[in-house]
Structure 1
Amino acid sequence: MEIISEAAMAAMRMPRFEDGCINLQELIRQLAESVVNEIMDAEADQMCAAQKNTRNGYRERKLKTCVGTLTLKVPKLRSGSFFPEDVIERYQRVDRALVAAVAEMYATGTSTRKVQKIAEKLGVDRLSKDQVSAIAQSLDADVDELLSRDLSAIRMPYLWLDATYVKCRRDGRVASTAVVTAIGSDEEGWRRVLGISVVDTESYDSWKGFLATIRKRGVHGAELVVSDAHEGLKRAIAEEFQGAAWQRCVVHLTRDCVREAKTWQLKRRVAKIVAPVFRAKDAGVVRCAYHLACEMLEECCPKAAAIMEEAEVDALAYLDFPCSHWKRLRTNNVEERTNREIKRRSRVVQVFPSVRSLERLAGAVMCEEDELWSDKRYFAESKIAELYDEKRAKQKPQPPTPEQEEELRLIAKKAIEASLELADELEAA
């Protein structure tokens, strides 16, 4: 009520038409926006008081209503999250993206029966051309805003890069099309979507152009880039992020080793030898376990051993960073989870009628992910600060003595043998 009283007293600031008459619709829109934002502020303050938490700024969301578009300022918290689900839906963008993709299938002549089946899965009975146009324009604006925002204000020490493949019609034929994405963690520990693009193939030129676009938008301060071992991607990373270390995803490395085994029994053994190597929390144990795994693989699968030996420097690059970061740096899981979301949504459409429709859906998924990440840090504030600790940077690891190395090797051997014994017990059961 206080907001309404203040608005009545500020008549000179009321929205008016050119002829001087008050624009009642705009006035109602402003009042509704103010009331909803005040309610969210009050609820966030109550939550902070109950949980001994603090506020951490806002993130904006648009909400279309019968009186116009409201700009909602959703409060952010230092820890945990606050979201007014009774005011706005979390996943509106993706649903609208699927609707727009299905509508475009109609426009490009896909069989009516197939489109109707897909529309039924979405709960869509009927769409007008005006509705399709409005949905598409709204989604395109959100995606364009995400992919054009300036990234130069803060350092981005960690980057994850990957691609996933979706069927899309290109030049009159259906082809497997790569959706390449980049995710970063800034110096305050927040994850951010850095870029997304749809390319015909995952080549050096494609990755080079994609990474160059990200650099132009201000990404700087990269210290480690995590990805799989695609040769074109490795080359593009080396050229665009000179001075940054490259971490080969250990999950992909394990898969590469398992692929060299010919029987399922040998595949299981190779996996159980390699997997424990990266679970250790001591750098010395990890290195000893890695060398021991190479020796054990040499006896049962020489090709897998050759892959491990060649990949040692890149697979263990994460050991040069704070121990509390290792779990998130040694794999590309953050990208894998995002790719699964793109796949899950795209599975409904099956074959995208155009590159633009695929860009729209993938971009909407990334918009959603970026918003969800704004609720929770990927690295705690105290943990990310370890990366920039000058004392840690000056400390150089000392090589272990022969006695220490023997002790570390014994620990590593026990870990690998325990993994193999557990696998044997599970198989016997």
Structure 2
Amino acid sequence: MLSVVNNDGTTTNGSSLIGETVREGARRMLAAALEAEVNAYIAELTNQRDGTGRRLVVRNGYHQPRKVTTAAGAVEVKAPRVNDKRVDEATGERKRFSSAILPPWCRKSPKISEVLPLLYVHGMSSGDFVPALEQFLGSAAGLSPAAVTRLTQQWQADHTAFMDRDLAEVDYVYVWADGIHLNVRLEEAKACVLVLIGVRADGSKELVALKDGYRESAESWADLMRDCARRGMRAPVLDVGDGALGFWKALAEVFPETREQRCRVHETANVLDSLPKSAQPGAKKAIRDIYNAEDRDHAGAAIKTFAKLYGAKFPKAVKKITEGQEQLLAFFDFPAEHWIHLRTTHPIESTFATVRLRTRVTRGAGSRTAALAMVFKLVESTQQRWRAVNATHLVALVRAGARFERGLPAERPKATAA
């Protein structure tokens, strides 16, 4: 048995000492990854400040130490803490930083299936995976560069099969659409990832499609939606997206019967861009009154109030609200329990936030298909934690064509006696 003589003359089991060294390496690697993750998050939001010019997102010490189980054993880590004072426009609640590397509920090291895509998106080559994982997970047995390459090839095949699957048996009642710019290995500098997330008739959320496109052009979106229609996808009842004209043009071409709902977060930002900073706080409250109105009638009254207050000085800002009024208020014609989901593209934004804030431009030659496969695997792993929409039983009624007034099912008129 291997033994090590200490300075005080005592001996220590050599295997135990090696184990401690490996665990210490895993702890340092995990701590460094958490620090880098938080620094990237704060750097991305450094320009967001309050009315006094103070930053809304800052460091705030560390959480209490906790033990995380790795392949090398349990290691104790102190996760950095972030003070995020921003407010979520969709829910009105404070935003919170959530680590993708070590979520609050996590007590074990991340799965290989989640770590490898994250490393690749960061720009690490397959040859660098083994030493990185050996420190991060405590062991890299069976993870040679060739094995990692085979894994990425399998994930590419999984993504290809996903994009070729039959959609005739699936009914997506609501769909969110957005173009995500991740600055990963997509070869073209202006390429982005086009994402569709849908709500099935049972109320569960599911990734519909994920494909790269040039910017968010109408042709790129139309090509994706034509492919979905070719594979049997029914026209959604409502599609939620931002103000990208390319998407709406493609939607009108492929699914003309689908109604449009503009994301309130993006629309609010577009309107505020047309106003001087001094007028933005008041205008933001006025716009919030529109979306948080009791029903469509009250929302229409709030739009008239907004036009009256800002129309004389800022007609361009008012025009953005009044011209797209139907698309801004479409969600009022659906169940009130679904309004919080339909006013914004938050399901996509929240899914990709942890990916977007932790990616950088990779200048080396990278595979476009491999990058898309990695992003697909990251989304696939988070999809397991998506929660269903509120009042799931009402989703089937929406597909059946039920009418809703003030967010409630409209009563059918009673038949008159002959």
Structure 1 length-normalised TM: 0.61
Deviations 1:323-353 (A, max 9, x none): 2211111211111112213314434968773
Contact 2:235 2:257 in 1 (8 A): no
- SS of aligned partner of 1:195: strand
Deviations 1:355-388 (A, max 9, x none): 1232122111221133323xx4224333324425
**1:196-207 equivalences in 2 (<5 Å):** 196-207=210-221
Q: Which runs of no fewer than 5 residues in structure 2 stay unpaired? A: 1-104, 412-418
d(CA) in 2 for partners of 1:106 and 1:93?
14
- Counterpart of 2:193 in structure 1 is 179
Tell me which protein shows more helix as a share of its residues.
1
The 3 A distance-change label for structure 1 pair 121 and 195 is farther
Deviation, 1:135, is 2.4
Q: For 1:97, which of 84, 99, 117 is the aligned residue?
A: 117
Equivalent residue letter for 2:180: T
Q: For 2:152, which of 130, 136, 139 is the aligned residue?
A: 136
d(CA) in 1 for partners of 2:278 and 2:123?
48
Deviation, 1:146, is 3.3
The 3 A distance-change label for structure 1 pair 103 and 120 is same
Contact 1:168 1:354 in 2 (8 A): no
Worse-superposed segment, 143-152 or 363-372: 143-152
d(CA) in 2 for partners of 1:319 and 1:121?
53
The 3 A distance-change label for structure 1 pair 248 and 121 is farther
- SS of aligned partner of 1:372: coil
The 3 A distance-change label for structure 1 pair 286 and 170 is closer
Are residue 326 (structure 1) and residue 339 (structure 2) matched?
A: yes
- Counterpart of 1:367 in structure 2 is 380
Are residue 160 (structure 1) and residue 165 (structure 2) matched?
A: no
Are residue 269 (structure 1) and residue 282 (structure 2) matched?
A: yes
Deviation, 1:129, is 2.5
d(CA) in 2 for partners of 1:307 and 1:349?
37
d(CA) in 2 for partners of 1:265 and 1:359?
42
**1:19-168 equivalences in 2 (<5 Å):** 91-100=111-120, 105=125, 119=132, 123=136, 128-168=144-184
- Counterpart of 1:223 in structure 2 is 237
Contact 1:152 1:219 in 2 (8 A): yes
Contact 2:183 2:360 in 1 (8 A): no
- Counterpart of 1:194 in structure 2 is 208
Equivalent residue letter for 2:324: A
Equivalent residue letter for 1:96: L
Q: For 1:253, which of 267, 291, 296 is the aligned residue?
A: 267
Worse-superposed segment, 213-222 or 97-106: 97-106
Are residue 302 (structure 1) and residue 315 (structure 2) matched?
A: yes
- SS of aligned partner of 1:356: helix
The 3 A distance-change label for structure 1 pair 351 and 265 is farther
RMSD over aligned Cα atoms: 3.5
- Counterpart of 2:297 in structure 1 is 284
d(CA) in 2 for partners of 1:143 and 1:328?
27
Worse-superposed segment, 128-137 or 322-331: 128-137
Structure 2 length-normalised TM: 0.63
- Greater Rg by CA: 1
Contact 2:156 2:369 in 1 (8 A): no
Deviation, 1:295, is 1.8
Deviations 1:6-44 (A, max 9, x none): xxxxxxxxxxxxxxxxxxxxxxxxxxxxxxxxxxxxxxx
The 3 A distance-change label for structure 1 pair 120 and 382 is closer
Contact 2:296 2:329 in 1 (8 A): no
d(CA) in 2 for partners of 1:89 and 1:152?
38
Deviation, 1:94, is 2.6
Equivalent residue letter for 2:149: S
Contact 2:126 2:149 in 1 (8 A): no
Contact 1:207 1:236 in 2 (8 A): yes
- SS of aligned partner of 1:166: coil
Total equivalences in the alignment: 300
- SS of aligned partner of 1:167: coil
The 3 A distance-change label for structure 1 pair 270 and 121 is farther
The 3 A distance-change label for structure 1 pair 230 and 132 is same
- Counterpart of 2:388 in structure 1 is 377
Deviation, 1:223, is 0.8
Contact 2:338 2:391 in 1 (8 A): no
d(CA) in 1 for partners of 2:265 and 2:364?
29
Q: Which runs of no fewer than 5 residues in structure 1 stay unpaired? A: 1-84, 108-114, 398-429
Worse-superposed segment, 268-277 or 86-95: 86-95
Contact 2:310 2:318 in 1 (8 A): yes
Worse-superposed segment, 147-156 or 193-202: 147-156
Contact 1:164 1:178 in 2 (8 A): yes
